[in-house]
Amino acid sequence: MDGTGNQMNISTRGLDPHRSWEFNNRKDGVITNSDMYGYPASHYNIPMEAVERIELVRGTGSLQYGAQFGGMLNYISKQPDTTKKVALESINTLGSYGLVSTYNAVSGKTNKFRYSAWANGKWITGYRKNSDASFDAEGVSLFYDATKNLHFKLDWTHSNYITHLPGPLTDSMFHANPKMATRSRNYYQPTIHVPSLTIGWNITPSTKLQFISSAIRGARNSVMFDKPATVTDTIIPATLQYNKRQVDIDHFNSYTSELRVLQTYKLLKHTSALAAGIQYMNNDLHRRQQGKGTTGSDYDLTLSTTGWGRDLHYKTKNIALFAENHWLLTKRFSVNTGARMEIGETNMTGTTVYYDAAELPNKIKHKFPLFGVSSQFDLTNDINIYAGWSQSYRPVMFKDIVPQSIYEVSDKNLKDAYGYTAELGFRGNWEFLKWDVTGFYLQYNNRMGTLAQTDTAGNLIVYRTNIGNSQTSGLEFFLQGDFLLGNNANLSLFTSSSYMDARYQDATIKSGDKNVNIDGNKVETVPNFITRNGLTLKFSSISFSALYSYIAESFADPLNTETPNASGSVGLVPSYQLLDLNLAVHLTGKIKLQANLNNALDAHYFTKRPQFYPGPGIWPSDGRTFSGTVAIKI
């Protein structure tokens, strides 16, 4: 949604991409979701320079880690260089719109100790007016190999950034000048610390034990004049000052401990494996919102009037038991079975100035048994057919429970979202080809929304409740061909495409002062077709890559409104096409130069129309962007 690169918005199979909150997000196996029950977005952001690879675990296997519909997304950081006592890496980038980025890392090994430390700083003035941002992130990992079978890891990582938000645009504003801003006084800052301790013990060659204890400590801060683009932020003649801004501060105090065991054993002359464990979470989300801030223009969280519109604690304690068994029944056929049991309770305490706290649900119980099964049949050593079915659930969040104003009422019997995913696929590699074709079906029940109702006095109210279900069916297709062009040259071509049809089922939603049946309507922000196609040509020490992407149109609201409204918060999100180019040259084994041209054709586009945060309307994506990078390893 913006070009700062300071937030990861990832989605698969028609799920909501907002800060990847449909995934169990992890760094090196450590949870980074800010609060899995109150606010599951991942505000922590590891710089890509520090990442070695990204793992996605879906289906039965993901039940080991969490109950999320998207599965488990794990960012594996670069490991220490064990060939040296001191190894250095520096990656420095200059780019369009004032981009300056520097990443520096040190790692090594001495005796039984391994270590790595890195720091990243990034600054940008931004594609749009008033869209400057500054980012810093750090990480330190200490490893101690007590014996060949007992290992300790102490890790701390932190990310912090301040983004100047330029505000939403209407459709006419976007078409006239996508770089323009409607706000100059809006700021957003998340600062997150993630400490962790990991102990790995290979008790026997067939029994492995792992313990992880971690925390999320930090805050999500914002100060904003939070109105649609049709409302201008101007000086009031009577006071010669701006309007007071709204201050919101969330404090995250989330603690997780996980103990898991992996046991391999012989069955029917083949080696099978059982992974089982227990997870305990103890979270306290302290949310202070709707504070009356200053009339100034800088980033300032000072309140001009004491007190908050909402000052609430959202405390959750949860225990999860999980197990997954891999049954290798024959040389070519295997079955995985998985189960997870979530048992917990959330207690909410505090005050809201516009709503009687006694009317809010202050105790929410979580109890969900989840199951999954998958299988794989190897047609050859390199080609297989696979299938799977697994359940998921998403607990009711803070924003679902607490009314936004005196004119809203929340259902005291809100239900957690739950559902399942089924898939059938065919994958493999043959000579120069690799492929993976998957058909899937995702059922998502108890979606949240609003209905129009009247209270006992006959007044119209907005009722926040479960509005119905949705289903998404689709086909994912990946094909890659690798061709040898000569002794020093090769060419790689690939396509990664997906077709999706996401529809509401038995669902009703508020429209004006009426309730409208939306059964059969398309789910918002889900395009029918996404395709990414690329090539990489390598010759000696030079490589050139090109990536073409096409994303079909989508709707911004469950009513499937086509004509944009005045603020631009509903209407079609048009299809768009992007072309990205990359050229890399390895001068030596230690120095690499790289040039990137993103959105080479300078397409003017946007990916969604938010109806709420960070402001209702259009948020343009960046135009043509160039960057040059020098990477050094010594």
Q: Is the pLDDT of residue 627 over 60?
A: yes
- Out of 31-35, 428-432, 611-615, which region has the weakest mean confidence (pLDDT)? 611-615
The predicted model gives 31-48 an average pLDDT of: 95
pLDDT classification of 3: cutoffs 50, 70, 90: low
By percentage, how much of the chain surpasses pLDDT 90? 86
Residue ranges of domains in the chain: 18-298+320-633
Beta strands in 111-245 (DSSP E): 113-124, 133-145, 150-165, 186-204, 207-224
> How high is the pLDDT of residue 128?
97
b vs e for 441-468, b when ≥16 Cβ sit within 10 Å of the residue's Cβ? ebbbbbbbbbbbeeeeeeeebbbbbbbb
Query: Token pair for residue 39?
Result: 């606010």
CB-based contact 326:272 (threshold 8 Å): yes
Which residue did the predictor score with more confidence, 365 or 146? 146
C-alpha neighbours within 13 Å on the C-beta side of residue 495: 9
**Pair 443, 469: CB distance under 8 Å:** yes
Task: Please state the rounded mean pLDDT for residues 376-398.
Answer: 96
Tokens at 394, concatenated: 């998403």
User: In sequence order, which ranges of 348-496 are alpha helices (DSSP H)?
Assistant: 398-401
Contacts of 134 (CB under 8 A, 6+ apart): 121, 122, 123, 161, 162
CA end-to-end distance (rounded Å), the chain = 36
Segment among 94-98, 336-340, 366-370 with least mean pLDDT = 366-370
Per mean pLDDT, which of 133-147, 404-418, 446-460 is the most reliable?
133-147
How many Cβ atoms are within 10 Å of 622's Cβ, its own excluded?
22
What does the pLDDT read at residue 261? 98
Q: How far apart are CA 146 and CA 79, in angstroms?
A: 18
Q: Is the pLDDT of residue 382 over 60?
A: yes
366 and 341 in contact (C-beta within 8 Å)?
no
Q: What is the pLDDT of residues 337-364, one digit of tens each?
A: 999 999 999 999 998 998 877 777 678 8
Q: What is the mean pLDDT of residues 573-598?
A: 97
Would you say 600 and 580 are in contact if contact means Cβ atoms under 8 Å apart?
Answer: yes
Q: Which two tokens stand for residue 467?
A: 């509005």
User: pLDDT tens digits for 256-307?
Assistant: 999 999 999 999 899 999 999 999 999 999 999 999 999 999 999 999 999 9
DSSP state of 622: P
pLDDT of residue 5: 76
Query: What is the per-residue pLDDT for 461?
Result: 81
Average pLDDT, the chain: 95
Domain 18-298+320-633: top CATH class: mainly beta
Type of residue found at 577: Q
At residue 215, the pLDDT reads 99
Give the pLDDT of residue 404: 79
Reported confidence tier of residue 253, pLDDT bands at 50, 70, 90: very high
Angstrom distance (rounded) from CA 522 to CA 612: 20
For the cut 90, the answer to whether the pLDDT of residue 79 exceeds it is yes
**What span, in angstroms and rounded, lies between the C-alpha atoms of 49 and 120?**
8
- CA 445 – CA 526 distance, rounded (Å): 17
- Residue 372, both tokens: 């999954």
pLDDT at 527 over 80: yes
Query: Which 8-state DSSP code applies to residue 127?
Result: S
Q: Is 6 helix (H, G, I), strand (E, B) or coil?
A: coil
How far is residue 86's CA from residue 550's CA, in Å, rounded to a whole number? 44
Q: What is the CA radius of gyration of the chain?
A: 26
Region 202-216: mean pLDDT is 98
For 546, the enclosing helix (H) or strand (E) is strand 542-551
Q: What is the pLDDT of residue 376?
A: 98
Average pLDDT over residues 435-450: 96
Assess whether pLDDT exceeds 60 at residue 1.
no
313: its two tokens: 């604690």
Quote the CA–CA distance of 129 and 97 in Å, as a whole number: 10
For 211, residues 6+ apart whose C-beta sits below 8 A from its C-beta are: 197, 198, 199, 257, 258, 259
Mean pLDDT of 453-480: 89
Contacts of 455 (CB under 8 A, 6+ apart): 409, 461
pLDDT band at 85 (very low <50, low <70, confident <90, very high): very high
Per-residue confidence (pLDDT) for residue 2, from 0 to 100: 62
Predicted local distance difference test score (pLDDT) of residue 544: 98
Q: What angle do CA 529, 533, 537 make, to 5 degrees?
A: 175
Of residues 404 and 13, more confidently modeled: 13
Query: What number is the average pLDDT over the span 167-182?
Result: 98
Distance CA 313, CA 40 (A): 15
Opening angle at CA 49, ends 43 and 55, nearest 5: 65
Q: How many residues does the chain have?
A: 634
Could you give phi then psi for residue 359, rounded to 5 degrees? Answer: -85, -5
Average pLDDT over residues 306-331: 96
Give tens-digit pLDDT for 599-613: 999 999 999 999 888
